[in-house]
Amino acid sequence: MSPGDSPHILLGRVRFLIECIECFRHNKPLPEALCFVPKEVCYKICKDSSFSSTSCSSATSTGSSTAGKTIISVWECPSQSLPSKKLLKFNIEAKKGTCIRATGEEYCNTYGLWVKLNKEQLEEHKSGLDVEEGWILVCKHAEGGDRLVPVESQERVQRQGQLFGYDYNPYTRWEQVVDAQCCLHLGSKPRVAQQDDVAVQKLRYVPPTWTFECDEDLVHYFYDHIGKEDEDLGSIKQYVESIDVSSCSEDPNGGAWCMTDGDTDTYWESDGAQGQHWIRLRMKKGTVLKKLILTLDTTDDNYMPKRIAVYGGEGDNLKKLSDVNIDESLIGEVCILEDMTAHLPVIEIRIVECRGEGIDVRIRGIKIKSSRERDLGLNADMFQSPNLVRYPRLEGTDSEVLYRRALVIQRFISLLDGLLPHLVPAWDYTLGTFNHLKHIKQFLLLSKRRSALITQCLKDSETSKPDFMPRLYINRRLAMEHRDNPSLDPSCKHAVFIQVYEGLKPSDKNEKMLDYRWPVSYDQWWECKFISEGIIDQGGGFRDSLADMSEELCPSSAECPVPLPFLTRTSNLGTGEARDRYVPNPSCREFHKYEWIGQLMGAALRGKEFLVLALPGIVWKQLMGEEVSWSKDFPAVDSVLVKLLEAMESMDKETFEFKFGSELTYTTLLSDGGVVELSPGCSSTVVKYEDRKEFIRLVQKARLEESREQIAAMQAGLLKVVPQAVLDLLTWQELEKKVCGDPEITVEALKRLTRYEDLEHSEVRVQYLWEALTNFTNEDRSRFLRFVTGRSRLPAPIYIFPDKQGTETTDALPQSSTCSSTLFLPNYPSAKVCEEKLRYAAYNCVAIDTDMSPWEE
């Protein structure tokens, strides 16, 4: 039963969720209901008809069949690979229809899923054993074949419970136990099966040195580990080996990966003959399809499928499994295949016909539900020490403890996913938020529901695109002069930022301000006319203006002066990971412009463009409404001050007086260099040794709140464009990446986004290009990206053509068109020459084509 079906179940689960969050925050053992493991589960053999009897004939398989009997091997402990015969305790000969009793404790590793038998259960099959436990293999991940399954499925237990009452079968799943213990019931409470106390305590165990930050690190490790594996398969990667498609459109943002990225705004688009489009899934062994679901959108018009046929089988021997007609008004998911009983190595989706006799097709998503859905992404072997080198807080903890902690976190995420739609505020009627979500933001990385919720919230808050596109006249020559010496013009009126801000103001009282809540397809917010520069702005000029504004707000070079007063450099200039960061200027009172910065950030989040702002985590957290702390967050702003105050708190009186004497007063420097009183009228009062802790507290408070008003204005602008619910569902790191783009630009990522015109990827000049980019630094590649596309961060499509002149000139600089994201690549004689020319162009050439006279209109 879902929470939405019953208010008392919903309220009970919310109460339980809050209890779990408090346990995580304060490092307490989690509630027993979340960690519930039944003392006994009955299993039976499930035959897989797609595998021959020889495929599971060895004694190490889940079960091998001989003359109506099935042999089950019992092992001393779960093994990571083919178990050694030394670990074999004995074999169980199970007759047809026999059930095997085991505990509810499961263990998943690279080899497969295991369950434990206790001493009493072992004695049923072989008496006189001097062992306390044994393990049997439920299923092997790599091979599929016969497997053990619980006798009673969750659906059948619920159905029987409704027919015969709660006492027909006791609750054996942790979800049921949570409802039984935390929800209000009329009459007697449901009966819960006896729990395995030892297994429950293993899941509840919290190491003595464990902290909430360890849990967050564990979430990040798990997310990074499963996120990088089979990246293009997205949400269906645990069931599918590969995806092939009949064809792809030229748009690099419209590949097959769009069907598995969880984003309904992206789609795979074919490029071929009418009626010849297909998607081929090569399934992992042992996967039995229960549902195959496509995401479609009626707004795709004649790109939307009208009729789909699904075929399945092995190799080229495919048989028709279903034939589905699609409702023309459909927006969302449609099931095209369900309830398969055997494993099919190949599933082929054929688009027989499109609406309105359309030629090409668009598919926005693929989802799979399978009988083998057992959280295969998590296994104990992931947590071996060599894999944890980037997570020092986790390194000293036993891998078994980490595995079980991750299991409990996974259960918590499952509980959270069921409640998320009820916890986030709706755009229409509230700006509130469920405060407890703020404490577990990092856990949301593992959520399976939030991506769809974010998409829905953004869609619900969309407005129609403007009736006309604003046209702005920008003088970048004056902007460059101002950037070289900002002191000559304190008003900053020549900065690109101010020119755009003033140009977007309504010209009369009836004209509305831009609301920046347009559909994602509206990807050019204004048109730029750069004075004395030749340009027909089809997107390149607009992207260049955003890049110029980003550079003015947060100059990338520490040697350049800051040309605008809105952000100021932190004290960590040139040191550590937090170097070259900016915080809102505490003394700047132009709050309307801070609000506009927030609106631009929201527009970047909603669309495909970036506003690259080098802000430390403490600013992003405050924009999200999260709590910040001195020791954890402020070192990114002023690490020297943090260390000084730590030393001051622990130093003795003699050292304090020697270092500070009568020079330390109740004042402190802010990030902009301004001095503020920590207490009214105490600017000349000397700090005494006995009062140093109060002084430290006042300094911390003043510095943590120094940009509070400016950040509040930015947040107000952000919330005008992005619903509060979206901010509730994102981590601050994700907000930064969505607004600013991915700062890491790898050659592999560039290759995935590149398409070739009149060139082959195997040509020598193309190979020289990739060799040159491999030798580039990340900053070099960012400059190259801006030279070609107008964007300095990924993702950004790139199209490569031969040089415009079509000659064999080898000493010419490369040319680009940022409006079409095109690079015209000369035929250089070597990778070294290519590297030199590309680097020079990236750093010295204006990223605007000059294919027209600057005086033409």
Q: Is the CB of residue 544 less than 8 Å from the CB of residue 848?
A: yes
Q: Is the CB of residue 811 less than 8 Å from the CB of residue 802?
A: no
Report which of 154, 109, 203, 138 is spatially closest to residue 407, judged by C-alpha positions: 203
- Contacts with 293 (C-beta within 8 Å, 6 or more apart), sequence order: 333, 334, 335, 336, 365, 366, 367, 368, 369
* Cα→Cα distances 380→113, 384, 405, Å: 10, 8, 11
The encoded tokens of residue 546 equal 């955003």
DSSP bridge partners of 362: 269
The encoded tokens of residue 217 equal 């690190």
346 residue type, one letter: V
How, if at all, do strands 754-756 and 798-802 pair?
A: parallel
The encoded tokens of residue 704 equal 């943590």
Q: How far apart are CA 633 and CA 619, in angstroms?
A: 9
- Contacts with 580 (C-beta within 8 Å, 6 or more apart), sequence order: 556, 558, 569, 573, 574, 614
Q: How far apart are CA 306 and CA 361, in angstroms?
A: 10
φ, ψ of residue 756 to 5 degrees: the values are -115, 135
The encoded tokens of residue 574 equal 């040139």
Report which of 715, 769, 770 is spatially closest to residue 598, judged by C-alpha positions: 715
Q: Which runs of consecutive H residues, i.e. helices, occur in 278-333?
A: none
401 residue type, one letter: V
Q: Is the CB of residue 445 less than 8 Å from the CB of residue 220?
A: yes
Q: How far apart are CA 511 and CA 314, in angstroms?
A: 63
Q: Is the CB of residue 9 less than 8 Å from the CB of residue 1?
A: yes
* Residue 819 annotated as catalytic: yes
Q: At what angle do helices 617-624 and 635-650 cross, to 10 degrees?
A: 100
Which H or E run includes 320? strand 317-325
Contacts 24+ apart (CB under 8 A), 137-140: 137/61, 137/62, 137/73, 137/75, 137/111, 137/112, 137/113, 138/43, 138/62, 138/106, 138/112, 138/113, 138/114, 139/62, 139/112, 139/113, 139/286, 139/372, 140/61, 140/62, 140/111, 140/112, 140/286
How big is the chain, counted in residues?
857
Q: Is the CB of residue 44 less than 8 Å from the CB of residue 151?
A: yes
- Contacts with 43 (C-beta within 8 Å, 6 or more apart), sequence order: 99, 100, 101, 102, 115, 138, 148, 149, 150, 151
| Active-site position among 214, 457, 492, 819 | 819
- Contacts with 716 (C-beta within 8 Å, 6 or more apart), sequence order: 595, 598
The encoded tokens of residue 845 equal 């050439």
How, if at all, do strands 317-325 and 277-283 pair?
A: unpaired
Report which of 538, 491, 714, 522 is spatially closest to residue 514, judged by C-alpha positions: 522
Other C-beta atoms lying within 10 Å of the C-beta of residue 158: 15
Q: What DSSP assignment string belongs to 446-496?
A: G-SSHHHHHHHHHHHT--PPPSS--EEEE-HHHHHHHHH-GGG-TT-TTSH
Which H or E run includes 324? strand 317-325
How, if at all, do strands 527-530 and 471-474 pair?
A: parallel
Q: How far apart are CA 423 and CA 160, in angstroms?
A: 31
- The residues carrying an active-site annotation are 819
